[in-house]
């Protein structure tokens, strides 16, 4: 009976000469590394979100000013590391532009921020057209109809109290926002919830611009609904069409 011959020249051989299991393919290792990095990016987004919301709840302008510009970049990094589509990264980049501009307490900055968010909504509409079902189901169709009615009623009620130079921009933006929220229903419940929360968040902003009575800590509710909306919309796009979505 002969002894096993050591695996001479085999780089995978162990000290005793027995061959070790082959290493995982480099592609699998790279994929696993990106998944870990994506998870860490999502954790970073969660931590910055908690910090910003805590700062807003505590009335700390310093914390909000420091953390708000970091929110969408952290979420966009998660999208990139998850292999998300470029249009989604663009939507979040426009969201970052809006976030940053709205930190300035001036009408020109507010209008520029609104334009940046509007560009983000256009990106979302393109994503829904590419990855959605093409048309909402029965419940989604009813929701779209409800959004349309809510849009008309809200704009009509806000109109007299809005500054004159804000009326047309707010009405136009509201129409685009409602279209985005309606389009989100074609991508499923997660996206539909995100669209509804975005609609709620910006409606709260509009009532503030019109000097309507506000709930305690209105900025907290605005940021909470907005951040949940962006996260849900991003997640819904990432989980739709997998390979097709990587464009």
> Mind listing the pLDDT tens digit for each residue in 141-169?
778 888 889 899 999 999 999 999 999 99
- If one counts every other C-beta atom within 10 angstroms of the C-beta of residue 54, the result is 14
pTM here is: 0.84
CA distance 110 to 99: 10
Which pLDDT band, with edges at 50, 70 and 90, does 7 fall under? very low
Q: Is the pLDDT score of 200 beyond 60?
A: yes
In Å, the largest CA–CA distance within the chain is: 99
Listed in sequence order, the DSSP H helices in the chain are 26-57, 61-81, 86-101, 107-131, 138-158, 167-184, 189-209, 218-238, 242-245
**What token pair was written down for 81?**
């590391």
Quick one: pLDDT at residue 245? 40
Q: What is the mean pLDDT of residues 22-41?
A: 78
Residue % of the chain over a pLDDT of 90 = 70
Look up residue 24 and give its DSSP letter: P
> CA of 218: how far to CAs of 36, 80, 116, 163, 202, in Å?
36, 32, 22, 20, 12
Among 176, 196, 76, smallest CA distance to 118 is for 176
Q: Is the pLDDT score of 221 beyond 90?
A: yes
Q: pLDDT tens-digit profile of 75-89?
A: 999 999 999 999 999
Average pLDDT across the chain, whole number: 87
Residues with Cβ within 8 Å of 34's Cβ and at least 6 positions away in sequence, in order, are 81, 82, 83
Look up residue 211 and give its DSSP letter: T
Q: Are 54 and 67 in contact (CB under 8 A)?
A: no
């Amino acid at each position: 009976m002969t002894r096993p011959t050591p695996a001479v020249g085999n780089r995978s051989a162990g000290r005793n000469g027995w061959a070790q299991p082959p290493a995982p393919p480099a592609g699998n290792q790279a994929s696993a590394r990106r998944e870990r990095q994506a998870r860490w990016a999502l954790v970073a987004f969660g931590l910055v979100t908690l910090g910003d919301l805590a700062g807003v709840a505590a009335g700390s302008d310093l914390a909000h000013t420091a953390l708000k510009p970091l929110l969408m970049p952290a979420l966009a990094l998660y999208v990139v590391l998850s292999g998300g589509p470029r249009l989604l990264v663009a939507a979040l980049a426009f969201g970052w532009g809006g976030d940053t501009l709205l930190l300035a307490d001036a009408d020109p900055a507010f209008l520029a921020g609104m334009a940046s968010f509007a560009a983000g909504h256009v990106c979302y509409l393109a994503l829904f057209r590419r990855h959605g079902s093409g048309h909402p189901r029965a419940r989604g169709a009813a929701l779209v109809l409800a959004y349309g009615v809510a849009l008309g009623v809200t704009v009509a009620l806000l109109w007299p109290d809005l500054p004159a130079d804000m009326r047309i921009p707010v009405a136009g933006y509201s129409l685009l926002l409602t279209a985005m929220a309606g389009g989100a229903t074609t991508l499923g419940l997660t996206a539909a919830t995100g669209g509804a929360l975005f609609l709620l968040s910006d409606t709260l902003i509009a009532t503030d611009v019109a000097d309507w009575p506000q709930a305690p800590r209105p900025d907290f509710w605005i940021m909470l609904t907005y951040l949940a909306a962006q996260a849900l919309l991003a997640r819904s796009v990432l989980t739709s069409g997998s390979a097709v979505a990587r464009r």
